Structure 1
Amino acid sequence: MADSEAVDRLHPVEEIQTRLSRHSSHGAAMRREGALNQLSNTVRTMSNQDAESRYRTEEADNRVQLSGRSPCESLHDATGKKIISWEPNDKENPYNWSTKRKLFINISGMLTVTNSTMGSSLPSMAIPYMTQEWGVTSSTQKVLPISTYLIGYVFGPLLWGPLSEHIGRRNLTAVSLSLFTLWTLGCALSPNWPAFLIFRFLCGTFGSAPIAIVTGQLADIYEDPVARGRASRSKWHSLTLVDLVSFYFAMTVSGPLLAPIVSGFCSTTIGWRWSFWVALIYAGATLIPVLFFLPETYGPVLLTRRARKLRKLDPTARVYAAFELEEKDIKQVITKVLTRPIRMILTETIVTATCLYLALVYAIFYISFAAFPIVFQNLYGLSPGVTGLLFLPIFGGVIIALGTFFAWENFLRKSQERNRPWTKKEEYRRVPLAAIGGPIFAASLFWLGFLAKTEINYAIPSLAGIGFGIGFQLIFIGMLNYLTDAYEIFAASANAAASSARSFLAVVLPLATTPMFMQLGISGALGLLGGLSLLLSTIPFIFLWKGERIRAGSAFCIALKEKKLEMKRRAEEEMEKRNDATAAGSDSQEEKEVV
């Protein structure tokens, strides 16, 4: 009413201008809303197409019929192409490989991951010596040896994760590890500071490949071929896939904790360059088995090779794998494959929230490589080598976290056998571990911050590392396994999104470490980090509370759930048909024998 009276008092020309302005604003708002709806519909369509394409290939690979016909029947009818698939108990199917072969893949994967993560923190205790050699005095510059490596961690997984779902795992692993070894040699021989930073960036880019690929390799050889994403029992010591992934997470932590010990003792005795010579020796040792013995594990790629071999033996044969017949032009790769992790970060609430929390925890982990020298060298006067040894309590916490995880898995398994109602909820399988780890992680930061005083022996604040390791490991096990469960066949892309996001914050925050500690002091800086981590530790509790509703509103989760249920139903129907055919054949044979 007041607005109407105000307009009535305006000059006629002013009145027209006011009404046109309001109409224009309303129209702009409507256009923005329309654009957002169009973007949302586009993303949802791409998600549905992603899920449809991948599950159709999965069905074809595992001989699941699509509505009574081949999933590529139109191609078969039009061109006469025959689609091959895995036979029952096929020895070339990675799920049926021997225990020894799977064990080798496990060990090589863990070694390459350690190789990569050790490189991230390798210069931490060597920085004072290399900056002295090259005359670098800026506190911001001194953080760059770690930050430039982590910049590579930001961009690398966005490439390696989706590509491993597109062209396979083995060749990407071999090429990336070979180049990582070459760039590590470059770090050892660097003539100046800029060259060293460039080699560090290249090391991070190619060293990030195992972070994105290894979990996919484990899923390739241990997952159930129909119900991907579920932890199936493996032959190797009766461990589940989730058990093995948890060992993988432990290895991602052990590498950065081992590196400061190497650089701390090398720098003070035989020179900082020997830190990288040691890393080069390790990289070369892990490269040899990868180049000569690591097999391809990605099922669709293996079927494609089988089809090509058959066509080579018989040029007239029109035999193809379903994966070969997927659209693979450059436009499809760029718009769907490589953008998948970015779409997940921007549109998937689960991925966004998980990335935010893991990014902060991961950044604090790398802040510790600058914070420990401030606390234990500047405050307590310890040597770089001894300061490096004080990272060992964190590793002890990681071991305790693994024990906690196995205890939880045992409790969960028994509860599932008893059909407890809470075990039916997706979030209650993994997220409770992160809910436990979050407050422990925050408490460890408060412990270190408020007990690091000259009148208190350095061993007391160093014990905060135990809680730090427990919390860090439980948070990562819980949240990343939840991502794997939620996004199943696109778990590599979801994990790549999480890896890139956390690496981005791990690049930015450490740049502020020295100024933050100078302005706030040790207790103030660690208290701030502890408060932030405590605030974000509410995210797992929100997932436990509203996770089902969040997944119900997810374009990816809806599409994956629909396609998975549809595929499961078809798989059951196909199994019944095979059993009926087998029974009919047996009856026919018996009749012939009677006659």
Structure 2
Amino acid sequence: MPDYEKEELGTDLNPGILISDHTIAKVASRQSAQSKRIGAKKEAVESQVDIDKMDNGDSSSLSSGNGLEPTPTAGNELEVTPTSDKIIVSFSDDDPENPYTWSMTKKMFVLFVSICCVMNSTVSSGLASNSASFYGREFGVTSNALLILPTSLFLLGYVIGPVFYGPMSEQYGRKYVSVFAFIFFAIWTMASALAPNLAALVVFRFLCGIGAACPIVVVGGTCADIFKSPASRGRGMAIFMGATTFGPCAGPVISGYISPALNWRWSFWVGLIFAGATMVPLLLVPETYGPVLLKRRAQKMRKESGNDKIVAPIELEKEDWRHVVSKVLTRPIRMFIFEPLVLFSCLYLSFVYGVFYMLFQAYPKVYVNIYGFSLGQEGLTFISIGVGACFAIPMYLWWDSITKKARAQNKEWVQQEEMRRLPLACAGGPFFMVSCFWLGWSARESVHWAVPVCSGIFFGVGYLLIFMALLNYLVDAYKIFAASAMAAASASRSLFGCVLPFAARPSKFENMPHLVTA
């Protein structure tokens, strides 16, 4: 084992035994201090090997034949040497503190609040789109490239935020990170409503985007925390992805009607009101991350018994600043670079996401310039994308029922994660491609406005199918590190979403005669 791998572990551990975040030894929760041997399932040894290899950029043996499940590296028992002599706390199968055993009501409350946080984030991403002409007029700015900046810089915040939130939530828990980020988001949303000039608005939107990135990253990890089976986890992720689709569609509607009727600043005040309403239930959400819950249990047991040898698996790692910076915060970046599964999934998601945000610049040229829509009416055209997303969810459930029957019949193909998740992305690709050509060829005065609007339905179907498939695939593949995988996906696609709208700025459309008002 390389020296810098050893740095992640305490020196009193046998270096041949690697234990980390999600190693949960299957032992009784209250063993005596004299215990020398701990029974464990194979995950107890597999997981740290996986983590250290990933932290080294070595993904060659992270998985077995299907590319997802860890390869066993030791027997079923973990020998604790006299020098380590640790008592590792764990969850029992029916432990009420284990998030997997929570009641469905409690899980649904956690999921509901998480989705509300996601909606805050995604709605906010589109609030500036139909306000641009109004704050441009107030600030005396006419450059279309400059007016795009509040939306693009918000998405740039989406690039930076996940690099911190994903791994930090895996180190310190989901709740504290989520609450901090949400307060940060609310503060800069208020600042956006009070911006004195365009430069300030751009900076405030950038900072707002950093805070808004948290739920996009953490909710995937939360689903992995509370839903054990791939089926229930997949349904939770489907709801999450629906929120990420509807949110950006709602933003232009809100700003399109509020900006002309009241003031462009009220678009952000509405966002702040929504954030305030979400903050109260967010504070009531319990921590869901198992390793952190075990750490709290170990701390309580040490305090009650006075036995310092009682530890949680996550406490076997060093927590100094060097470890946090070199290992924890860089994990999403290393996953993106060294994990082909993450890399190519992120590239596909990034392209699709970037095209979605190009529509924020393209739709006004199509529906305002050609068809004479008001900004509010133009915002409503995004609803067709949401309608398409509604059609995608039954398609997901239909495929889920097929895989469920196949598992019951012990079909060989369903044992592969690729076959359970990726066919939906394959189905979504043609929908996405057709929608782009549909919009491009039908947006002209001689064609009724409803025809290009209907292209949004196909776009919504394709967009959501692709996202549900690939994000579920990443969560299933990395489970305990789902938040870091989601961080890599969020950062990469947000970078595309930040840059590609400039390719759709009005000057580009001037070369397309049928998109220029006569």
* Distance of aligned partners of 1:522 and 1:491 in 2 relative to their CA distance in 1, 3 Å threshold: farther
1:179 and 1:379 mapped to 2: Cα distance? 40
3-state SS of 1:463 partner: helix
The equivalent of 1:547 in structure 2 is none
1:153 and 1:346 mapped to 2: Cα distance? 19
The equivalent of 1:413 in structure 2 is 404
Q: For residue 424 of structure 1, report the CA deviation from its aligned partner.
A: 3.1
- Which of 275-284 and 349-358 deviates more? 349-358
The equivalent of 1:593 in structure 2 is none
Q: Structure 1 residue aligned with 2:272, among 263, 280, 290?
A: 280
Kept in 2: contact 1:180–1:202 (CA 8 A): yes
The equivalent of 2:132 in structure 1 is 127
Match runs of 1:318-467 below 5 Å: 318-467=309-458
Kept in 2: contact 1:449–1:523 (CA 8 A): no
Q: For residue 425 of structure 1, report the CA deviation from its aligned partner.
A: 3.1
The equivalent of 1:190 in structure 2 is 195
3-state SS of 1:199 partner: helix
Q: Which amino acid aligns with 1:181?
A: A
1:95 and 1:179 mapped to 2: Cα distance? 30
The equivalent of 1:255 in structure 2 is 247
Q: Structure 1 residue aligned with 2:164, among 159, 164, 176?
A: 159
Q: Which amino acid aligns with 1:85?
A: S
* Distance of aligned partners of 1:321 and 1:128 in 2 relative to their CA distance in 1, 3 Å threshold: same
1:512-558: CA deviations, max 9, x gaps?
Answer: 2123322345689xxxxxxxxxxxxxxxxxxxxxxxxxxxxxxxxxx
Q: Structure 2 residue aligned with 1:479, among 454, 470, 473?
A: 470
Kept in 1: contact 2:24–2:91 (CA 8 A): no
1:129 and 1:42 mapped to 2: Cα distance? 58
The equivalent of 2:185 in structure 1 is 180
Q: For residue 64 of structure 1, report the CA deviation from its aligned partner.
A: 1.7
The equivalent of 2:258 in structure 1 is 266
Q: For residue 145 of structure 1, report the CA deviation from its aligned partner.
A: 1.0
* Distance of aligned partners of 1:407 and 1:210 in 2 relative to their CA distance in 1, 3 Å threshold: same
Q: For residue 397 of structure 1, report the CA deviation from its aligned partner.
A: 0.2
Kept in 1: contact 2:125–2:151 (CA 8 A): yes
Kept in 2: contact 1:56–1:71 (CA 8 A): no
1:375-416: CA deviations, max 9, x gaps?
Answer: 000111110000011111110000000011101111122223
The equivalent of 1:73 in structure 2 is 80
Q: Which amino acid aligns with 1:307?
A: A
Matched, 1:58 2:24: yes
The equivalent of 2:109 in structure 1 is 104
Aligned residues: 467
Q: Select the structure of larger CA radius of gyration.
A: 1
Q: Which amino acid aligns with 1:151?
A: L
1:163 and 1:247 mapped to 2: Cα distance? 24
Q: Which amino acid aligns with 1:384?
A: L
- Which of 330-339 and 63-72 deviates more? 63-72
* Distance of aligned partners of 1:53 and 1:341 in 2 relative to their CA distance in 1, 3 Å threshold: farther
TM-score, length-scaled by structure 2? 0.85
Please, which runs of 5 or more residues in structure 2 have no aligned partner? Answer: 9-14, 29-38, 46-73
* Distance of aligned partners of 1:269 and 1:429 in 2 relative to their CA distance in 1, 3 Å threshold: same
* Distance of aligned partners of 1:220 and 1:203 in 2 relative to their CA distance in 1, 3 Å threshold: same
Kept in 1: contact 2:221–2:475 (CA 8 A): no
Please, which runs of 5 or more residues in structure 1 have no aligned partner? Answer: 1-40, 224-229, 233-239, 525-595
- Which of 483-492 and 396-405 deviates more? 483-492
Kept in 2: contact 1:452–1:458 (CA 8 A): yes
1:159-185: CA deviations, max 9, x gaps?
Answer: 111111111101001110011111111
The equivalent of 1:82 in structure 2 is 87
Kept in 2: contact 1:437–1:470 (CA 8 A): yes
The equivalent of 1:212 in structure 2 is 217
Kept in 2: contact 1:61–1:321 (CA 8 A): no
1:205 and 1:356 mapped to 2: Cα distance? 21
* Distance of aligned partners of 1:371 and 1:473 in 2 relative to their CA distance in 1, 3 Å threshold: same
The equivalent of 1:246 in structure 2 is 238
The equivalent of 1:587 in structure 2 is none
* Distance of aligned partners of 1:406 and 1:105 in 2 relative to their CA distance in 1, 3 Å threshold: same
Q: Which amino acid aligns with 1:247?
A: I
* Distance of aligned partners of 1:470 and 1:303 in 2 relative to their CA distance in 1, 3 Å threshold: same
- Which of 481-490 and 199-208 deviates more? 481-490
Match runs of 1:459-538 below 5 Å: 459-514=450-505, 515-520=507-512
TM-score, length-scaled by structure 1? 0.74
Q: Which amino acid aligns with 2:40?
A: V
Kept in 2: contact 1:61–1:322 (CA 8 A): no
* Distance of aligned partners of 1:260 and 1:314 in 2 relative to their CA distance in 1, 3 Å threshold: same
* Distance of aligned partners of 1:450 and 1:68 in 2 relative to their CA distance in 1, 3 Å threshold: closer
1:196 and 1:285 mapped to 2: Cα distance? 24
2:408 and 2:105 mapped to 1: Cα distance? 30
* Distance of aligned partners of 1:192 and 1:176 in 2 relative to their CA distance in 1, 3 Å threshold: same
Kept in 2: contact 1:375–1:522 (CA 8 A): no
* Distance of aligned partners of 1:84 and 1:42 in 2 relative to their CA distance in 1, 3 Å threshold: closer
3-state SS of 2:311 partner: strand
* Distance of aligned partners of 1:420 and 1:100 in 2 relative to their CA distance in 1, 3 Å threshold: closer
2:188 and 2:197 mapped to 1: Cα distance? 15
1:150 and 1:251 mapped to 2: Cα distance? 17
Q: For residue 54 of structure 1, report the CA deviation from its aligned partner.
A: 3.3
Q: Which amino acid aligns with 1:456?
A: V
* Distance of aligned partners of 1:71 and 1:339 in 2 relative to their CA distance in 1, 3 Å threshold: farther
2:279 and 2:177 mapped to 1: Cα distance? 13
2:18 and 2:305 mapped to 1: Cα distance? 32
Kept in 1: contact 2:19–2:313 (CA 8 A): no
* Aligned residues: CA RMSD: 2.7
Q: For residue 418 of structure 1, report the CA deviation from its aligned partner.
A: 2.6
Kept in 2: contact 1:61–1:300 (CA 8 A): no
Q: Which amino acid aligns with 1:257?
A: C
* Distance of aligned partners of 1:522 and 1:444 in 2 relative to their CA distance in 1, 3 Å threshold: farther
3-state SS of 1:54 partner: coil
1:62-100: CA deviations, max 9, x gaps?
Answer: 9626678975823xx336543222234111111111222
* Distance of aligned partners of 1:496 and 1:60 in 2 relative to their CA distance in 1, 3 Å threshold: farther
1:483 and 1:45 mapped to 2: Cα distance? 27
